[in-house]
Amino acid sequence: MNTSLVRKGVVVLAVAGLLGTTVTTAEAGPPRNGALQEKLDALVGQFPAALATVSRGGRTESLVAGSARLGSRVPVPADGRVRAGSNTKTFTAVVVLQLVAEGKVELDAPIERYLPGLVPGGSAITVRQLLQHTSGLPNYTEYLGVDDIAKLQHRYFEPHELLALALAHPAKFAPGTKWEYSNTNYVLAGLLIERVTGRPVAEQITDRVIRKAGLRNTYWPQAGDQAIRGPHPQGYARSGDEVIDVTELDPSWGWAAGQLISSPGDLARFSRALLDGKLLPAAQLAEMRKTVDAPLLPGWRYGLGLFRVPLSCGGVYWGHGGDIPGFETRGGATDDGRSVGLAVTALPGTYGDPEQGAQAVVSAVDTAFCR
């Protein structure tokens, strides 16, 4: 799938002999998510560890499988912190839509109005098209060298460096004529937030979203912060013929498109708070949920920083997901009160077939919602 910050390669390797456990965080009673636990245990064939948090009917459970560290039997922390990757886009989109509600930004105004002279053809690209990935702007991660993660792992980038990488290449298509995922759109959204508010995007996301939603395990790493604070599993990525530990990584190349650290539980809580109207007025939430076809998997559609994903048991969930070296995250929430966050500690393709790995994660999320 192309919902990530990176492009995946194909590698075949096996992971064996790892732990599989269930941790219940509800008040009492045995775990109810046996089917999901089986899915998480099966994921350990392609990922070192898997973590999930499921909420429904007033009950929340956190489940884990695998080992927090390759080559050892280290318990995976329940609801441990992970790099959230492109889930950051939804946080960024929420702040932009809050500014729309405050009358400081117009969704259908050109980005040229807010960032004059910065984007070639910016008078024809609207704020909505940036948030919806219909701008046609090239994706800077295609030119970043992410496939050689060992060289990129500790490199710091300024947002304008990322933008320059993209804008050195021609547009992919005319604005509004097609959907194509591009992290460049959200670098521009972050710059828009900073220009309109006069404050750093990290501060705006923290104050307007993270604190407002009551997220305890979510934070924006500051410049130079390469670690993951608090309990967390290690994350792994392939570099050439080796699998390396990329838990410590400079996430600045993700910026407003992918810099956040969170946990499966916090990602589920964020989605729940969003759908429950705690972060946006009804009018802006409705705009966020206006979708176009996103041809990644059958039935998938994209709104403003938000995927609409069909469920095998009927209905849909709303969420995002993120891929960044070391971690893949998926999940979201339904209108009837269910919410799910799931993470694995490598990208699909690190330890097996990338398509099979990606499908296995999607299937596990579907099971979390439907069983």
Q: Is 224 exposed, middle or buried (0-12, 13-18, 19+ CB in 10 A)?
A: exposed
Q: Is 86 a catalytic residue?
A: yes
Token couple for 137: 């702007």
Q: CA 31, 35, 37: angle at the middle one, nearest 5?
A: 65
Token couple for 275: 């759908």
Nearest to 330 by CA among 8, 86, 6: 86
> How is residue 147 annotated by DSSP?
T
Number of helices (H), then strands (E), belonging to the chain: the values are: 12, 14
Nearest to 149 by CA among 261, 263, 229, 250: 250
- Which one of the listed residues 67, 86, 182, 271 is annotated catalytic? 86
Alpha helices in the chain (DSSP H): 34-43, 88-101, 111-114, 127-132, 149-152, 159-167, 184-197, 201-205, 255-258, 264-275, 282-288, 354-370
> How is residue 139 annotated by DSSP?
P
At how many degrees (to 10) do helices 88-101 and 184-197 cross? 40
Say if CB 5 and CB 183 are below 8 A apart: yes
Residues in the chain: 371
| Residue positions annotated with a catalytic role | 86
